Structures are given as structure tokens and as C-alpha cells.
Amino acid sequence: MNVVLIGSGNVAAVLGRLIKSSGHAITEVMSRNAEHAFTLAKELGAQTYTNIHHLSKDADIYIVAVSDHAIKTVAKELIVPNGIVVHTSGAVSKNVLQHSSDHYGVLYPLQSLRKESAYVPDIPLLIDGNTPETIQFIQSFAISLSEKVHYAEDEERLKLHIAAVIVSNFTNHLYALAAEFCKKETTDFSLLTPLIKEVAERVELYDPDSMQTGPAIRNDAMTIEKHLEILHAHPHLQKLYHDITQSIQKFHEEKREK
């Protein structure tokens, strides 16, 4: 298929590489950031544009891979009645694209993507479309890119986006807080890397709640108090530790009561 990419950030770059390696042609890359557009287009063997009105009208699919707040602006300017137009957001309705084309939908990569990464990770793709024919087209395209393709309407996609924020963004923030704590307390954060990997790998094999360990689920009040005492010098982290400890205990108490 001939594909037009609108955007030049992380999602556009990683999806572009995946699309090209899957045998499709990226014909054009459009971004208001001329330098980024040129760099990505050169890598993908595409033409570069900074003006959306200069894009061709005969591509098979137009992928709007921009920030959520910019999708609406792009949708107002992109008019390709005969093309398939999709955006890549988990939190924006497909209907924002209804003025761009008679055939529109979503191709949402449920993955954390970084364009500086040297490899393309496993990327589940959530799809939707405004008609059965559009859904079938997007699904066919998605299957050529990923072994994990799932149909998800706006509400389900938004719920999965919330869950993704929790397991990815929130978890990474906890890593950052732990790394900062180790730095301030002059201890080695890298010693935690095997633990991080082990816990993450368990999720593929077991339900997360069945793998909960630590002083909170054991109701080990003595250890919890020792931790909170050390964290007295780190009030933000102390409060977070206290709140998450209570959350773990409440979660498992409620499960036991059911």
C-alpha cells in the first residue's frame, strides 16, 4: 500500500519503520517541523512536505500520528475523500476525522514508542472504523504490521489507554523516584534492574494480583514503619509509599472478602 505519514515524532517514526519493513511504501511525510520531516522522510525514502495542502490525494491510507490536541487541527485541513484516514490516539474519538474523508478510523499502537530506539518492539494495534468496509481495510493493513490486532471502539480504547498510562507511565515514574532516592541516599539503583525485569516478566505468566509480594500484603507493620522512618527525609515519597501500601492492603482485603 502507499502510505502518507502526518507527523514526525516517536509514533510516526516507529510506525513508519514498521510499515516500510512490512513491504508497504511511505510515499510522503508531512510535518510542520521541517527538519524532523526531512530526517524521517530521508530514512523512509519518502517525499517531504510541511504544508498539508501539498499532499497527494491518491494514497491508500493517511496516518495522522500527531499529539492528541493537534489531531483536530489536522483533521480540519486534511481533505482526502477517497482515502482511508486514521489517527493513532488511544484517547481521541475516531469521529474527529469525519470531515477528512468518507472513510476514517483508528490505528492505535498500544506500546511505548521511542524513535531513537534501534529496534521496533512488539506492537499490539487497536483498530476502529466508521463503516464495516473501512474496518476491514484497516484490519487488513494492521495484520500486515502486527500479530496482535484487536478491534476496539472509542470507549474500550480509552479504557485500555487509562490502563496503559498506569502500567507504563506511572510505573516509569516510580522507577524515576526510586532512582532519585538511591542517588540521594548514595546507593546503587542498578542493583534493582534484575528485580524490575523479573517482576515485569511474571505478568506474561500469572495474574498480577497473585504475584503481589512485600511488607504491605504480609501486613508486616514493623518493616513498613522502618521504611516510613527512613523516608521521613523524603516526604513526597513517604506519602506515596504510605498511600500505595494502603491501596495494596485494601485491594487484597476486598478480594479475600468476596
What is the sign of the dihedral through the CA atoms of 205, 250, 221 and 173?
Answer: positive
Q: Where are the domains of the chain?
A: 2-152, 158-257
Average pLDDT by stretches of 10, the chain with 258 residues: 97 97 97 95 96 95 97 96 96 97 98 91 96 98 98 97 96 98 97 96 93 95 98 97 97 89
Backbone phi and psi for residue 47, each to the nearest 5 degrees, phi listed first: -80, 155
Q: Which secondary-structure segment (H or E) carries 73?
A: helix 68-77
Do the strands 103-109 and 125-129 form a parallel or antiparallel pair, or are they unpaired?
antiparallel
What burial class does residue 91 get, using C-beta atoms within 10 Å of its C-beta: 0-12 exposed, 13-18 middle, 19+ buried?
Answer: middle
Take residue 247 and report the three cell numbers written for it. 491501596
Phi, psi of 122 (to 5 degrees): -65, 125
Is the pTM higher than 0.75? The answer reads yes
CATH architecture of 2-152: 3-Layer(aba) Sandwich (3.40)
Domain 158-257: give its CATH architecture. Answer: Orthogonal Bundle (1.10)
In this structure, are residues 145 and 18 in contact, taking their beta carbons and an 8 Å threshold? Answer: yes
